[in-house]
């Protein structure tokens, strides 16, 4: 087993960079959509053979065991090379939860299957009527014999149509005094008669999100992770991680690079008004990176992140949207055209990037929710 | 919790605390108001106290008589100056006068006096043309005397000497004139914060030549970059304090039987101000650090412009929102919040606003990329 943390930062970075540059398939660089597993299976096998599927997991469970600093380098290199965010809900979300709260049997059974992608996971949190107000969920699970029997509906379930399993929050005690109590975290196989998946077509014309219906669907009681009715705190521990992840600079940085290439090709830098607006968003990206580095340093010193991490998500997603809006402006009369716009030998799908930016201020806790968090937890504003 | 001090290293934290204590003891923001209502000058004793605390030499290398702590330390000082709107020309002295002397004539007694706070020097380097700052010098140094007009001279109110950059034939020269001397007339223009920004008219003013030739141009470029980034740091201090005052106000001011800070629309605006402020702090401190790490003029100028653009945008937004969130009292002179708006106006305009610096930044960025 390799101790990556013992390597110098420079050596580690070099090794990671070299692997991506030589092994990552060119046609998968900077994909504009969330791929189905079949599309990236070949890459996943390579990553799996290398033992690099789960950089943050402890080595004893098949991860790379990277400390926070090395982990950030790993992600930075991934982003720099435009490596796809694969079908990683298992690795990023349910795996860490099983490692932290699961039984030995659960760890032994589920973790290897996550790494090999034998099981492909999606996240069942949101429900109609319970989006940002996550604890307001109605999907319930009743214990019958050795099984949970599940009824209800999840929505905005990313890539459910390409998943074999769903990890979900369900109400197991409807009489609990607070809505955050009485929620449990369970693992459910999707290949059964009581589970129906319907795709939702997005504004962009893609099918990334789904609705998932549960009609007497079943899962063994041993698929409960953690204690019964204690799922809320566990799920919340995942959300703070998600917030750092979606506060990272990569989406905005990539879009800025695309905007610049396109605008140069289209001669837009001759226009001083465009130049000013470009400089504005470019500085928004650069200055976000300075703020992000402050949080990254905190992680590298192994200090816990506070609620103020929400500001990264607000800033970077809103900057991302500003950039995509400037792209549309730069496209002028072609700004409503679907598909790649060709400028010289460069093609840019302006609308694909624009659409991609829209949900970023909604998912992972809408930016309004992030503002509520900052207002209460950081600024200490009343009521 | 919302305290700029929590991201500093230990030695910088100590420096910040000592400057903050000193300025608070001297009278805090009340002093800014008092001096504004008098003559728009400053307190000589405070200048001396700041000097004793090492403020003027913090960024000066040890071999030139300073503390060698770099621009990062000077930035901390500038933030503290901004927080209480201290009227002393700290940034202009540190960035321009001392910045030029230590690069061009480190042996001269003027530098020692400036570091000790016993002499305060203003620096006249800019000139005006139809589009704003002129790129060329029309003022002349000839036969030991200066002729011409210099614009936007800060810190002239109680200065004992003025450093002048003028064309000497083979390049620029740096020379010293006395404010009350022969051939020197000063047209004092009052700024919104009560300070003075002067036009300096020179007609054969006798002068002491301090340096000349391309070294002057090089030193000036470096000093202007330093002053620009330090002004950005001062603005960060201005907006930080304006935000704190506003947050305190909305937590206590009641309307409809509730503190106005409990209304979501107010909360979200306060959060946006806070996020802007955090970005500005991160950006300016990043720029200071990067400038400490390089001597390359273009890289330093680019970082200075980045910092000034960010700080201007942030201070403008925060000080104006602060007035709005204070409601009608925010529009009165009696409340301190207006002092911050007025200071932000002055510091934003001085050395170029955000639009100007975004243009410089983009040009520098493009030039670097073309050179790669």
Query: CB distance B362–A381 less than 8 Å?
Result: no
Chain A residues touching B283 at Cβ < 8 A: 283, 286-287, 290-291
Residue A217 has pLDDT above 90, yes or no: yes
H or E stretch at B318? helix B297-326
From CA B293, how far away is CA A189, in angstroms rounded? 56
Give contacts of B251 with chain A, Cβ < 8 Å.
Answer: 380-382
Q: Are strands B172-177 and A147-158 parallel, antiparallel or unpaired?
A: unpaired
**Residue A379 touches partner B, C-beta closer than 8 Å:** yes
Pairwise CB contact (< 8 Å): A380 & B309: no
Residue of chain B with shortest Cα separation from A282: B362
Nearest to B178 by CA among B161, B163, B164: B161
Cβ atoms of B198 and B186 within 8 Å: the answer is yes
What whole-number distance in Å separates Cα of residue A206 and Cα of residue B268? 32
Residues of chain B found within 8 Å of residue A368, distances taken between Cβ atoms: 268
Residues A345-374 have a mean pLDDT of: 90
Closest CA to B163 of B236, B229, B204, B114: B114
Q: How confident is the model over A28-44, as pLDDT tens digits?
A: 987 777 889 999 999 99
Is a pLDDT exceeding 50 seen at residue A79? yes
- Burial (CB count within 10 angstroms: exposed 0-12, middle 13-18, buried 19+), residue A101: middle
Residue A8, token pair as written in the block: 């110098």
- Closest in B282, B309, B362 to A290, CB measured: B282
Q: What is this model's ipTM?
A: 0.92
A382 interaction partners in chain B (CB closer than 8 Å): 251, 258-259, 261-262
Neighbours of B193 (CB within 10 A): 21
> How many angstroms separate the CA of residue B74 from the nearest CA in chain A?
19
Residue A62: pLDDT over 70: yes
Chain B residues contacting A via beta carbons under 8 Å: 1-2, 7, 247, 250-251, 258-259, 261-262, 264, 266-268, 270-272, 274-275, 278-280, 282-283, 285-286, 306, 309-310, 355, 358-359, 361-362, 365
CA distance to partner chain B, nearest, from residue A374 (Å)? 7
**Which has more pLDDT, A344 or A118?**
A118
pLDDT in tens, chain B (372 residues): 344 445 578 889 999 999 999 999 999 999 999 999 998 899 999 999 999 999 999 999 999 999 999 999 999 999 999 999 999 999 999 999 999 999 999 999 999 999 999 999 999 999 999 888 998 999 999 999 999 999 999 999 889 999 999 999 889 999 999 999 999 999 999 999 999 999 999 999 999 999 999 999 999 999 999 999 999 999 999 999 999 999 999 999 999 999 999 999 999 999 999 999 999 999 999 999 999 999 999 999 999 999 999 999 999 999 999 999 999 999 999 999 999 999 999 999 999 999 999 999 999 998 887 877
- Measured in angstroms, the CA of B267 and the nearest CA of chain A are apart by 6
CB-based contact B282 A294, cutoff 8 Å: yes
Most A CBs within 10 Å: which of B243, B249, B264, B267, as the mutation test of the A interface? B267
Percent of residues, chain A, with pLDDT higher than 70:
98
CA distance A126 to chain B (A): 24
Beta carbons of B262 and A368 less than 8 Å apart? no
Which residues in chain A are contacts of B264 at CB distance < 8 A? 372, 375
DSSP B117-148: TSS-EEEE-B-EETTEE-SS---EEETTEEEE
- CB nearest to B262's CB, from A280, A294, A383: A383
**Which residues touch B46 (CB under 8 Å, ≥6 apart)?**
B22, B23, B26, B31, B86, B88
A positions 259-298 inside 8 Å of B (CB): 272, 275-276, 278-280, 282-283, 286-288, 290-291, 293-294
Q: Which residues of A touch B358 (CB under 8 A)?
A: 276, 279-280, 283
Output the pLDDT for position A240: 61
Of A294, A314, A372, the CB nearest to B275: A314
Is the Cβ pair B310, A371 closer than 8 Å?
no
- Asked if B164 and B146 touch (Cβ cutoff 8 Å), the reply is yes
Contact indicator for A317, A330 with CB cutoff of 8 Å: no
Question: CA nearest A298 in B: which residue?
Answer: B7
Among A311, A380, A383, whose Cβ lies nearest the Cβ of B278?
A311
Q: Which residues pair with A381 in a beta bridge?
A: none
DSSP state of B277: H
All residues of chain A having their beta carbon less than 8 Å from the beta carbon of residue B257 are none
Helix axes A310-331, B264-292, angle to 10 degrees: 80
Distance in Å, alpha carbon of B263 to nearest chain A alpha carbon: 8
CA A19 to chain centroid: 23
pLDDT beyond 80 at A245: no
The three-state secondary structure class of B39 is coil
Closest CA to A44 of A27, A61, A25, A60: A25
Check whether A107 has a pLDDT greater than 90. Answer: yes
Pairing status of strand A195-200 against strand A183-189: unpaired
Directed axis angle between helix B44-52 and helix B109-116, to 10°?
A: 100
Whether chain B has a CB inside 8 Å of the CB on A383: the answer is: yes
CB B268 within 8 A of CB A368: yes
State the CB neighbour count (10 A cutoff) for residue A187: 23
Gap between the Cα atoms of B16 and A201, Å rounded: 55
Angle in degrees, CA B149, B155, B158, rounded to 5: 105
Residues of B with CB below 8 A from A314's CB? Answer: 271, 275
Name the pTM for this structure: 0.89
Q: Name the packing angle between helices B297-326 and A272-300 (round to 10°).
A: 90
Tell the residue number behind the tokens 């929102």, with chain if given: B321
Query: Least CB-CB distance to B262: which of A272, A314, A382?
Result: A382
Contacts of B12 (CB under 8 A, 6+ apart): B69, B72, B73, B76
**Among B56, B44, B145, which Cα is nearest to B94's?**
B56
Q: Show residues of chain B in contact with A294, CB under 8 Å.
A: 7, 282
Q: How confident is the model at residue A250 (pLDDT cuts 50, 70, 90)?
A: confident
Question: For an interface test with A, which of B257, B277, B278, B366 has the most A Cβ atoms less than 10 Å from its Cβ?
Answer: B278
Measured between beta carbons, the chain B residues lying within 8 angstroms of A288 are: 279
CA distance B275 to chain A (A): 6
Instruction: Nearest chain A residue to B355 by CA: give it.
Output: A276
A336 touches chain B (CB under 8 A): no
- Are residues A371 and B271, on separate chains, in Cβ contact within 8 Å? yes
Q: CA B334 → CA A196, B30, B250, B330, B345, distances in Å?
A: 66, 11, 18, 9, 19
Residues of A involved in catalysis: 242
CB contact under 8 A, B274 and A374: yes
Residues written for chain A: 383
B280 three-class SS: helix
Give the minimum alpha-carbon distance from B365 to chain A in angstroms, rounded to a whole number: 10
């Amino acid at each position: 087993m390799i101790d990556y943390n013992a390597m110098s930062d420079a050596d580690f970075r070099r090794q990671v960079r070299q692997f991506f540059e030589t092994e990552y398939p060119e046609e998968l660089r900077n994909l504009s959509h969330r791929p189905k597993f079949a599309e990236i299976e070949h890459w996943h096998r390579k990553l799996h053979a290398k033992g690099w599927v789960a950089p943050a997991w402890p080595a004893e469970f098949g991860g790379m065991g990277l400390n926070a600093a090395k982990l950030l380098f790993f992600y930075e290199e991934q982003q720099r090379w435009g490596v796809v965010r694969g079908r990683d809900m298992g690795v990023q979300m349910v795996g860490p939860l099983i490692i932290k709260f699961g039984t030995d049997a659960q760890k032994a059974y589920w973790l290897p299957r996550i790494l090999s992608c034998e099981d492909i996971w999606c996240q069942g949190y949101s429900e109609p009527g319970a989006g940002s107000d996550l604890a307001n969920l109605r999907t319930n699970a009743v214990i019958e014999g050795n099984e949970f029997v599940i009824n209800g509906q999840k929505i905005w379930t990313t890539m459910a149509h390409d998943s074999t399993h769903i990890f979900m929050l369900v109400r197991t005690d409807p009489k609990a005094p607070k809505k955050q109590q009485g929620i449990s975290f369970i693992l459910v196989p999707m290949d059964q008669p009581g589970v129906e998946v319907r795709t939702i077509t997005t504004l962009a014309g893609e099918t990334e999100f789904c609705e998932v219906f549960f009609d007497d669907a079943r899962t063994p009681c041993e698929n409960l992770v953690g204690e019964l009715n204690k799922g809320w705190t566990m799920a919340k521990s995942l959300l703070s991680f998600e917030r750092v992840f979606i506060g990272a600079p990569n989406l905005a940085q990539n879009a800025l690079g695309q905007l610049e290439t396109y605008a140069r090709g289209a001669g837009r830098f001759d226009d001083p008004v465009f130049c000013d607006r470009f400089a504005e968003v470019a500085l928004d990206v650069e200055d976000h990176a300075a703020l992000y580095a402050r949080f990254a340093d905190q992680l590298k010193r192994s200090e816990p992140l506070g609620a103020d991490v929400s500001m990264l998500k607000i800033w970077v997603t809103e900057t991302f949207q500003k950039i995509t809006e400037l792209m549309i402006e730069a496209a002028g009369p072609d700004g409503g055209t679907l598909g790649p716009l060709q400028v010289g030998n460069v093609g840019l799908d302006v609308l694909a990037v624009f659409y991609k930016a829209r949900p970023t201020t909604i998912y992972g806790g809408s930016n309004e929710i992030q503002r509520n968090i900052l207002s209460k937890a950081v600024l200490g504003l009343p009521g | 919790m919302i305290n700029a001090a929590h991201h500093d290293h230990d030695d910088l934290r100590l420096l910040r605390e000592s400057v903050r204590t000193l300025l608070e003891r001297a009278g805090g923001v009340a002093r800014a108001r008092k001096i504004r209502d008098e003559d728009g000058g400053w307190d000589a004793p405070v200048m001396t106290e700041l000097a004793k605390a090492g403020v003027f030499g913090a960024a000066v290398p040890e071999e030139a008589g300073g503390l060698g702590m770099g621009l990062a330390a000077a930035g901390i000082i500038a933030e503290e100056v901004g927080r209480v709107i201290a009227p002393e020309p700290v940034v202009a002295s540190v960035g321009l006068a001392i910045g030029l002397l230590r690069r061009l004539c480190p042996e001269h007694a003027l530098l020692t006096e400036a570091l000790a706070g016993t002499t305060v020097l203003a620096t006249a380097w800019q000139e005006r043309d139809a589009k704003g700052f002129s790129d060329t010098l029309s003022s002349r140094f000839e036969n030991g005397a200066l002729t011409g007009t210099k614009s936007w001279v800060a810190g002239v109110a109680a200065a004992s000497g003025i450093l002048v950059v003028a064309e000497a034939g083979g390049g620029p020269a740096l020379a010293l004139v006395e404010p009350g001397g022969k051939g020197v007339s000063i047209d004092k223009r009052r700024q919104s914060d009560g300070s003075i920004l002067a036009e300096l008219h020179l007609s054969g003013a006798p002068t002491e030549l301090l340096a000349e030739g391309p070294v002057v141009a090089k030193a000036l470029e470096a000093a202007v970059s330093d002053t620009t980034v330090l002004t950005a740091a001062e603005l960060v201090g201005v907006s930080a304090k304006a935000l704190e005052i506003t947050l305190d106000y909305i937590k206590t001011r009641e309307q409809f039987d509730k503190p106005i800070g409990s209304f979501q629309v107010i909360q979200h605006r306060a959060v946006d101000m806070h996020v802007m402020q955090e970005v500005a702090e991160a950006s300016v401190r990043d720029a200071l650090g990067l400038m400490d790490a390089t001597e390359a003029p273009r890289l330093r100028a680019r970082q200075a412009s980045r910092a000034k653009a960010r700080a201007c945008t942030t201070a403008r937004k925060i000080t104006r929102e602060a007035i709005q969130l204070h409601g009608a009292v925010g529009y009165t002179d009696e409340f301190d919040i207006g002092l911050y708006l007025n200071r932000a106006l002055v510091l934003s305009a001085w050395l170029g606003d955000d639009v100007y610096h975004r243009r410089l930044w983009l040009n520098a960025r493009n030039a670097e990329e073309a050179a790669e």
